[in-house]
Structure 1
Amino acid sequence: MTSKCFRSGFLLVFSVTDYASFEEIFKFHRQILRVKDRDEFPMLMVGNKSDLEAQRVISIEKAQELSRQLKIPYLECSAKVRINVDQAFYELVKIVRKFQLSERPLDFKDDSKRKNKKRCCVL
């Protein structure tokens, strides 16, 4: 993970062929929550190099187990052969939008519904 951060969400990327990069995910997750001073924040865990099945050291099950523990979705991709790369960003955008909607005040969420409803008043 680079030191550049995004305001809206994070991709936590590790290599499925490198156990050390996988171990860093937990630390980065904890660090993001600490810096953001939140219990949750939009994140997606991504296992890269899924095309290198023969060199894989992190099983899909092990990665999914960590993603459940961290309560963030998991996706595998291969940057080299462009499998699921775009999908990772689309998924993160969905996660960010869902998070932002959940953060809005209730009155703001209901404004669109109120505008379309006709009101009547009995005097």
Structure 2
Amino acid sequence: MVYKLVVMGSCGVGKSALIVRLVKNCFVTDHNLNIEDFYPQIVVDGKPCQLQIFDTAGNEETPHRFRDFLLWGDGFLCVYAVDDIKSFVDVNIFRDQLIRVKNTEHIPFVLVANKADVANCLVSPVLGQAMAKDFQVPFVEVSAKTGQSVEYAFQELVREIHRMWAEELGHLPIDEQNQGCGFKYCMIM
């Protein structure tokens, strides 16, 4: 089973940097980074799990292509930067687009506040938590620069996907019941 994750948010919030931090455990500052195929493995609830992740970097400006990514994804990390108020406001736009494309509000979604390490925080954690509570989704503060909670954000999204699929099915398929998160095959794109 493949779990397809989409990392979305305004330009410059650190989407690519989060993926590179997860995959290579290093920090990059190149905002024009092109993510190639990666096949990282993370552990979710004690079980190994590989992911297929798509970075929307730059594709938000191409509506038909961005729509394809939203249709493709099983779960979504929506990232804003704590030093950029507009990126926080834009979360509403991204979520509305996602709901419109998926035609449901029942979508595995994690709200991610990046750059938790910066001194000039303009969006307090309280605001992020309030938005997440309103959306009824998990909220995670991360720092691609230091690595703070980056893996945890992806783990939370995997848990959300698993939880929502289990709700939709009413139970877990037999082959997933003994595998914790139930993930077998995934890759990063």
* Distance in 1 (alpha carbons) for counterparts of 2:172 and 2:75: 25
**Residue 88, structure 1, aligned to residue 181, structure 2:** no
Quick one: structure 1 residues 39 and 79, their matched pair in 2 at CA, closer, same or farther if it must change by over 3 Å? same
Structure number with larger C-alpha Rg: 1
Instruction: Report the TM-score, using the length of structure 2 for normalisation.
Output: 0.54
| Shift in CA distance, 98/111, structure 1 to aligned 2, threshold 3 Å | closer
Question: Is 1:74 aligned to 2:139, yes or no?
Answer: yes
Question: Comparing both chains, which one has the higher relative contact order based on Cα–Cα distances under 8 Å and sequence gaps of 6 or more?
Answer: 2
More strand by share: 2
Q: Does 1:36 align with 2:79?
A: no
What's the counterpart of residue 120 of structure 1? none
Q: Count residues in correspondence.
A: 108
Aligned position for 1:50: 116
Q: Does 1:20 align with 2:100?
A: no
Distance 1:84 1:77 in 2: 5
Supply the AA of the counterpart residue of 2:106: E
Percent identity of paired positions between Structure 1 and Structure 2 = 31
> CA RMSD, aligned part only?
1.6
Distance 1:26 1:14 in 2: 11
Q: Judging changes above 3 Å, is the alpha-carbon distance between structure 1 residues 110 and 69 closer, same or farther for their aligned structure 2 residues? A: closer
In structure 1, stretches of 5+ residues that fail to align are: 113-123
Mapped to 2, the partners of 1:59 and 1:69 lie a distance apart of 16
SS of 1:64's equivalent in the other structure is helix
Following superposition, which runs of at least 4 residues in structure 1 exceed 6 angstroms of deviation?
A: none
TM-score normalised per structure 1: 0.81
**Cα offset for 1:111?**
7.6
Higher helix share: 1
Report what 1:121 is aligned to. none
Structure 2 unmatched ranges of 5 or more: 1-8, 10-55, 57-65, 175-189
